[in-house]
Structure 1
Amino acid sequence: MLHILVTGSKGQLGSEIKKVSKNYPTIQFTFVDREEMPLDDNDFIITFLNQLQPNLIVSAGAYTAVDQAENEKELVDQINHLAVATMAKWCSNNHAKLIHISTDYVFDGKSAIPYKENDHTSPINWYGETKLRGEQAIERIMQEAVIIRTAWVYSEFGHNFVKTMLRLMKERESIGVVNDQVGTPTYALDLAKAIMTIIESDNWVSGVFHFSNEGEISWYDFAVEINKLGGLNCKVNAVSSDQFPTAAKRPNYSLLDKTKIKQTYNVMVPAWEESLKLCLKILNP
């Protein structure tokens, strides 16, 4: 029986994988978060993996507080880079596979066309830098790994833009949302399903892949749609990133080209509007 370890089990993606795991009775899943397998302790990781002996690790756990990351550099590098390298080494030594989740923040956002997997990486914040280091460590250490870069993740679980917008739109008459950062959101449930499609595939193809929902929007466009679909009457104002200073810079453009994952694994990529509707039915019935 295939035994899959999922890290970051309380995060958005880990929670969605847990939700879909019941559709796979022939697979054994173990879900861990920082309490069961702390990613800031490499020795513990190895001991834990030696006891558990999974055939495949889905590395969904990460330090994702992008602004806070600028002030906790050592911890962020440990979780997003060194812990990932430790898992990759264990997988390499134990003939296990690895699916690792990375980010659009490995790019600088200066492109005008969707980023392909082999485009030049150049992170502009520490979170993106450590995620890139994690990718590079995997590529150095092992062959049997799939790295999936994703973007703007939201879900019914955890903290995310959609839930924050719903709360603010109910509390306030108007809000300001940046309109000069362009990309596509990712419904974590869609990503969870894509990961399971890869796991179930007869043909394991390692490498870097991109996944987000289809479309091209700004955060402002996203907020306008949340307001509309949520049946709310908040006024959404477009503002520039300059009016919204943050500790960490954000890429202005982070649209990901999904051609490779669609062609290689026949993964379904829903339109962002359709996925948002599904999530809002759960969050805002």
Structure 2
Amino acid sequence: MRSIDYIVPTWNSDATLELALSSIRQHGRPNRIIVVDKHSTDRTTAIAREYGCDIISSGTILGAARRLGACEAHTDLVAFVDSDVELLPEWEEVLRTSADGRYPDAGVIGALYNDGYIRRPAGPISLLGGNGAFGCCVTRRKCVVACTALDGLSSGEDALYAEYLAGKNLRWYILPIFVNHHHALGNVSDTLRWRWLGAGLRQRKGFRTSICRSVLGGAVIGLPMNGLDLSYRENIILRLNYFIGYMLPGRYFEVEREKRQF
């Protein structure tokens, strides 16, 4: 397998960044690690230097940071690993699958966050216009560079990218492989995370009464959001926070992250 460039967006990410970078070195076969940092005031850039990363300092939001990293990459395939993600040994299967051409219509080959919300599927999931997590995937550099609409999104950029790929008949494949997601080590609560995601949907789709009915109706009837493995109460709480973010995008689109992380 060829080495590939890794792109890691950061913003005051020192609580988890060393876990992410050490796992990329151990399991990721990196050609380079490109850290796109949003003017962190903690030890984020010092840690990145210790691991020999190429550091780009930029005040851009998350989608633009991902695209900026892709523009600076040199390899045809690139991996996105968020600063709170720890790769595990089975990540090598993501690399093999991305490189061997077994899915010629693949735009993305990704893994799953081990958040406790998702059961390990029996086999690969193939989505046309649907998405997994941008923070643990391998994709085609040229596609990310060409998807200029990423520059306008701080959340929901993975869904936008999946729609862009679908327009080119490219699929998002999710392998039955987990990575550790250490978001709990930061101080961005799950409440804020779901409001942030709801604000991203509003930014991407605008206001639609059909979306309001879908989000709130799913809470009432107990339809788990995004197929997550949630109790009825957990699903209501998640959907209501998502709805709050959707209705108040100006407040939650870019969550304040003083000493917080992507």
For normalisation by structure 1, the TM-score amounts to 0.30
Higher gyration radius (CA): 1
For normalisation by structure 2, the TM-score amounts to 0.31
